[in-house]
Amino acid sequence: ELKVEQNPLFLSMQEGKNYTIYCNYSTTSDRLYWYRQDPGKSLESLFVLLSNGAVKQEGRLMASLDTKARLSTLHITAAVHDLSATYFCAVDLFNTGTASKLTFGTGTRLQVTL
């Protein structure tokens, strides 16, 4: 059974600081997703990481994937209040190039304070 663990579960950080969210998973997979969820809202796709060593960046967020270590990281650079949200990683079980059958981590709730 695939297990996906995120840490920390809750992160309070000051504006301007850097931090990293970690996502570990238990079964081989070369496809990993990061989603963002604002309170009471739906999930929004941030990144898709498709191979070992993949790195994607959008604004102050950068995601990477190490399939050998079964680890993905979401790095936040110089946090701003607008980044406050819950971030989920999700791992694809299928690996077949068809539909993704996702197993989600429990989420990391990020709170950026002044």
Partner 1 sequence: DAGITQSPRYKITETGRQVTLMCHQTWSHSYMFWYRQDLGHGLRLIYYSAAADITDKGEVPDGYVVSRSKTENFPLTLESATRSQTSVYFCASSARQARKNIQYFGAGTRLSVL
Residue pair 45/7 in contact (Cβ under 8 Å)? The answer is no
Give, as ranges, the residues between 20 and 49 that touch partner 1 (CB under 8 A). Answer: 31, 33, 41-45, 48
Residue pair 1/102 in contact (Cβ under 8 Å)? The answer is no
Query: Looking up tokens 């971030």, which residue turns up?
Result: 87
In the list 65, 107, 110, 112, the residue contacting partner 1 (rule: CB under 8 A) is: 107
Give, as ranges, the residues between 75 and 104 that touch partner 1 (CB under 8 A). Answer: 88, 90, 92, 97-104
Among residues 7, 1, 8, 11, the alpha carbon closest in space to that of 79 is found at 11
Interface ranges with partner 1 (CB under 8 A): 4, 31, 33, 41-45, 48, 50, 88, 90, 92, 97-107
